[in-house]
Structure 1
Amino acid sequence: MSGSGKYRLGVLYGDGIGPEIVAAAWRALRAAERAGGVELFDPVELPMGLGAIREHGSALPQRTKDELGNCHGWLMGPHDSASYPAEHRAATNPSGELRKRFDLYANIRPSRTLQGVRGVAKDADLVIFRENTEEFYPDRNLVAGSGEWQVTPDVVVTAGVFTRRAAERIAHAAFRAAERRRGLVSIVHKANVIKLGSGLFLRTCLEVAEQYPHVRVNDYHVDAAAARLVRSAGEFDVIVTTNLFGDILSDLAGELTGSLGLSPSINAGDDIAMAQAAHGSAPDIAGQDKANPVGMLLSAAMLADWLGAKHGDSRLTGIGRRLDGAVAAALAAGVATADLGGAATTGQFAQAVIARLEAAHGG
């Protein structure tokens, strides 16, 4: 904790709908604190995105990076890199740069069926642990530069990097989560075709599984996993997979449970974590109070829970649990933004969540 006895929490509003949904998440997080009779977070607002380019000449100024290193975690809004000036578009986007700088190797993305939300999957409650540092993402798989080469105008080679270290640590994170959940890990891979790289990932995960004898384990080729998600999402508990497959499957799972706008995530390392909704910046509705804040609200709840587990502080875990429950209760009561068929604005949905937290506190 900081010298004040609080947890330093970075607040990065970002681009597009970012300022609206991050502000909503921060207000709700404060209400969840009050509902538990505590005030644990010491917020640090930091520049990021197009506004930071205009004011500081960088989408992620050095001051922001330095300050985040002194935080326990942060809320990060989406970025709209496509709108940046050309010289900034060529650089690694802010989210990618922070994942690499702080070695946030685990992208954790839950999806569950929520009462009041119409989705294809009726009984889903799963979480995807996506390895976040390598494989076929060229901005993450080399020490410097990008892992793609244009051999001729008509031929491009893209490198995929697989290491035992990366597979081991994401596997351990997944199996530890399964111990706290329903005790099942599904390894998703393509070892039948990418025999060396994906094969190393599969073998390493199976070796890690031996250290968790009380957790059941199975494995799927990624195409079979996608099909089974559509048909029987309720069969999955924890999925562990590589970077590209995790990106695709988590978006699929989010849509199956109602909307990508509902999908939370955290990017976590060993000592620090970033809460960031899985969706983009939606510049077409920015500033109109139309954005669905659920993904960001639930990401904030996940961050509080992660920090509670990391620091052995049940007060933080309680904050996360209360916020998650209040979001679910608002949706179950029929409060929803337009993308879910409702009429609530961003602010109105956030206020509905806050009202439930205040009611639970008696305030």
Structure 2
Amino acid sequence: MTDIEIAVLSGDGIGPETVEATLTVTREVLARAGVAMQERWSAIGLAALEQVGTTFPEEALETARKADGTLLGAVSHLDYPSPESGGVNPSGTLRRELDLYANVRPARTYPGLATKIGEEFDLVIVRENTEGFYADRTMHVGTGEVMPTPDLALAHRKVTREGSMRIAREAFRIAATRRRKVTAVHKSNVLRVSDGLFLECVRQVAREHPDVEYEEELIDAMTALLIRRPADYDVIVTTNMFGDILSDEATELSGSLGLAASLNSGYQHAMAQAQHGSAPSLAGRDVANPSSLIGSMGMLLSWLGEKRGDDRLVAASRSIEVALRDTVADPSTRTADLGGELGGRAFTRAVLANLA
């Protein structure tokens, strides 16, 4: 009997190898937990373009829609042709079509792993995922970028009350399980209307949670403060583009972007996706660090476990988190981006050996 069904979309570049590493760990941890997983594979990306003329077939979207969760490998969307020629970004499309409004990106230091700043920290960036400046998420028809003349480009930013309220509520929900502090990051001194609406909504949610400390920072100041004193922050909530930038900065400070787990979630669906890109130059060389996607899958299992009240899935998520921590902590079991010598497959075997 199947307990969970996972849509598997392996992607481009290093996507397929990090997906395989992730499934290797997931299959083992779920088997130990007594959870039966059914994998539903669909071709996407450049392979699908060659086979069926589009990088994201409708069948792949339906597979993800019907599954309990989705595992998405990295995609080379910058190498895709125009949408008219079949080049559809699977990541953006899934976020929009499945209404994955929250992009949750933890960033933390690891025992024994030197950081860029020499300070320990543990924070979460909660990024609005369906609006903002992202051109594929701002219009019902067309994109949020237009070019009236060859010398004029315009971009539209979308910020709604509904989108701001729900991402704020998610941030405060997460903070209630951690150190009870939320920092809203914005640029309302310049973007007075759009970020003004965002802040109005976050402040309203903050008033509903008097037991959670609340503060605000301008985005330009926050990029500096995150480097200067990251340990001061617990949960950071912000709009789409600001969150994308800050999360890359935070995870690089923790040791490597290769460690950066990421979960896209909504009311009904969730998707595990590494924070990094497809790195085509590393593909097939067994040098990519699969930690990010493995950790993202752990977050997906936790989301499913909490949604269903299934302690087995929550425990499996915790096992993955601890195994990754212990593997990264040992200099002999690190990948090249962390100063080690292991390839992706050997690192995956080390994670398996560290599963509780």
Same fold (TM over 0.5): yes
Query: For the Cα contact (< 8 Å) 1:92–1:139, is it kept in 2?
Result: no
Secondary structure of the structure 1 residue equivalent to 2:199: helix
CA deviation after TM superposition for structure 1 residue 216, in Å: 0.9
What letter matches 2:229 in structure 1?
A: S
How many angstroms apart in 1 are the aligned matches of 2:35 and 2:58?
29
The C-alpha deviation readout for 1:12-61, integer Å capped at 9, x for no partner, is 1110001111110111112222333x123221111111111122222111
Please give the residue correspondences for 1:214-233 in structure 2 after superposition, counting only pairs within 5 Å. Answer: 214-233=211-230
| Per-residue CA distance 1:221-254 (angstroms, 9 max, x = gap) | 0111111100000111000000010000000001
Aligned residue among 337, 340, 349 for 2:338: 340
1:45 maps to 2:41: yes
**Contact 2:55 2:86 (C-alpha < 8 Å) held by counterparts:** no
Secondary structure of 2:113's aligned partner: coil
SS of aligned partner of 1:160: coil
* 1:44-123 matched pairs, under 5 angstroms: 44-86=40-82, 91-121=87-117, 122-123=119-120
1:272 paired residue number: 269
1:30 and 1:39 in contact (8 A); partners too: no
Q: From 249, 252, 256, give the equivalent of 1:255.
A: 252
Contact 1:147 1:158 in 2 (8 A): yes
Return the alpha-carbon distance in structure 1 between the equivalents of residues 180 and 66 of structure 2: 35
2:352 corresponding residue in structure 1: 354
Which of 225, 240, 243 pairs up with 2:237? 240
Change in Cα spacing, 1:53 to 1:92, as seen in structure 2 (3 Å) is closer
Amino acid at match of 2:95: R
Alignment of 1:283-294 (within 5 A): 283-294=280-291
CA distance in 2, matches of 1:163, 1:225: 23
| Percent identity between the two aligned chains | 44
- Name the CA distance, whole Å, in 1 between partners of 2:28 and 2:93: 31
Q: CA deviation at 1:189?
A: 0.5
Are the aligned partners of 1:107 and 1:268 in contact in 2 as well (CA < 8 Å)?
yes
1:330 aligns with 2:327: yes
CA separation of 1:205/1:89 partners in 2, compared to 1, >3 Å: closer, same or farther?
farther
- For the pair 1:173 / 2:174, whether they are aligned, the reply is no
1:255-284 C-alpha deviation (Å, 9 max, x unpaired): 111111111101111111000000000100
Task: Return 120-129 or 104-113, whichever deviates more.
Answer: 120-129
Q: How many residues align?
A: 354
Match of 2:124 in 1: 127
For the Cα contact (< 8 Å) 1:305–1:320, is it kept in 2? Answer: yes
Q: Alpha-carbon deviation of 1:83?
A: 3.1
**Deviation at residue 91 of structure 1 after TM alignment:** 4.1
Worse-superposed segment, 277-286 or 330-339? 330-339
Aligned AA (1:114): Y
| Contact 1:330-1:352 within 8 A present in 2 as well | yes
Instruction: Say if 2:185 and 2:216, in contact at 8 Å, map to a contact too.
Output: yes
**Structure 1 stretches of at least 4 aligned residues deviating more than 6 Å after TM superposition:** none
Counterpart residue identity of residue 101, structure 2: Y
Cα distance in 2, alignment partners of residues 91 and 140 from structure 1: 16
8 Å CA contact retained: 1:82, 1:89:
no
Query: In structure 1, what is the Cα distance between the partners aligned to 2:35 and 2:239?
Result: 37
Q: 1:88 to 1:341 in 2, by over 3 A?
A: farther
Does the 8 Å contact 2:2/2:37 carry over to 1?
no
Higher mean C-alpha deviation, range 142-151 or range 89-98: 89-98
| Pair 98,50 (structure 1): closer, same or farther in 2 beyond 3 Å | same
1:152-191 Cα offsets, whole Å, 9 max, x none, are 3222221111111000000011100000011001000011
**Residues 262 and 296, structure 2, Cα contact 8 Å, conserved in 1:** yes
Which aligned pairs between 1:148-159 and structure 2 lie closer than 5 A? 148-159=145-156
Structure 1-normalised TM-score?
A: 0.94
* Cα distance per residue 1:61-103 (max 9 Å; x no partner): 1111111111011110011123334566774411011111111
Contact 1:274 1:303 in 2 (8 A): yes
Cα distance in structure 1, aligned partners of 2:263 and 2:140: 24
Shift of 1:117: 2.4
CA contact (8 A) 2:81 2:87 kept: no
Kept after mapping to 2: 8 A contact 1:107/1:129: yes
Distance 1:221 1:103, change over 3 A: same
Distance in 2 between the 1:88 and 1:285 partners?
29
DSSP 3-state at the match of 1:150:
strand
Equivalent residue number for residue 19 of structure 2? 22
Q: C-alpha root-mean-square deviation of aligned residues, in Å?
A: 1.4
